[in-house]
């Protein structure tokens, strides 16, 4: 049985592991080994992760008791993180999490959602109505990572 609930500080270690495992396997076709290493090293910024859980709108998807995905909304309009466990890809989990994130943004009367999206995630974000604003080159530890600034306008329903 799958459920979605608010994230909590006690989820920290499991979310960090899911982040690393997902990037390392799912994003492998789109990024080099060095790029993946630099990207996953973000897991070591413990304060950023704690701040996310304390200050952002965080949802986790559970399959029974295992966390199989999570999404975060910062400042009501920026999707900071959206990851689905490597063993649970293509089962509608990202769609479920995204739907709840968008619902929260609409409740906060946001006019748009934005996200910085990996090459791997771009297709998913386009499928839920986002458009690319521009391609970005992000430098991390001297390594270039390509991602896309994307936006979706939220019109009242």
* Segment 59-79, tens digit of pLDDT: 999 999 999 999 999 999 999
Angstrom distance (rounded) from CA 16 to CA 31: 20
**Sign of torsion over alpha carbons 44, 144, 25, 37:** negative
The helix or strand, by DSSP H or E, that contains position 111, with its residue range, turns out to be none
The rounded radius of gyration (Å) of the Cα atoms in the chain is 15
Q: pLDDT digits over 18-49, tens only? A: 999 999 999 999 999 999 999 999 999 999 99
**Above pLDDT 70, what percent of the chain?**
99
Indicate if the pLDDT at residue 157 is higher than 60: no
Q: Provide the token pair at 31.
A: 């990024």
Reply yes or no on domain 2-110 having CATH 3.40.630.30. Answer: yes
141 CB neighbour count, 10 Å cutoff: 10
Q: Categorize the per-residue pLDDT at 155 as very low, low, confident or very high, splitting at 50, 70 and 90.
A: confident
- Mean pLDDT across the stretch 89-112? 97
The owner of tokens 């909590």 is 8
Query: What ranges make up the beta strands (E) of the chain?
Result: 2-6, 57-63, 66-74, 78-84, 112-118, 131-140, 143-153
**pLDDT greater at residue 7 or residue 155:** 7
Q: What is the pLDDT of residues 41-61, one digit of tens each?
A: 999 999 999 999 999 999 999
HSE-CB of 140 using CA atoms within 13 angstroms: 14
Has residue 156 got a pLDDT over 80? no
Q: What pLDDT does residue 111 have?
A: 97
Eight-class DSSP state of 89? T
Residue 104 has pLDDT above 60, yes or no: yes
């Amino acid at each position: 049985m799958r459920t979605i609930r608010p994230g909590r500080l006690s989820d920290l270690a499991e979310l960090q592991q899911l982040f690393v495992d997902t990037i390392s396997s799912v994003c492998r076709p789109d990024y080099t080994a060095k790029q993946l290493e630099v990207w996953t090293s973000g897991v070591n910024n413990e304060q950023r992760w704690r701040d996310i859980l304390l200050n952002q709108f965080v949802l986790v998807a559970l399959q029974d008791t295992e966390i199989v995905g999570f999404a975060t909304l910062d400042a009501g309009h920026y999707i900071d993180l959206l990851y689905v466990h490597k063993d649970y890809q293509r089962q509608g989990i990202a769609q479920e999490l995204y739907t709840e994130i968008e619902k929260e943004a609409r409740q906060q009367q946001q006019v748009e959602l934005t996200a910085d999206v990996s090459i791997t995630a771009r297709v998913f974000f386009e499928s839920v109505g986002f458009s690319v604003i521009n391609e970005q080159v992000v430098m991390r530890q001297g390594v270039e990572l390509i991602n896309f600034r994307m936006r979706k306008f939220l019109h009242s329903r």
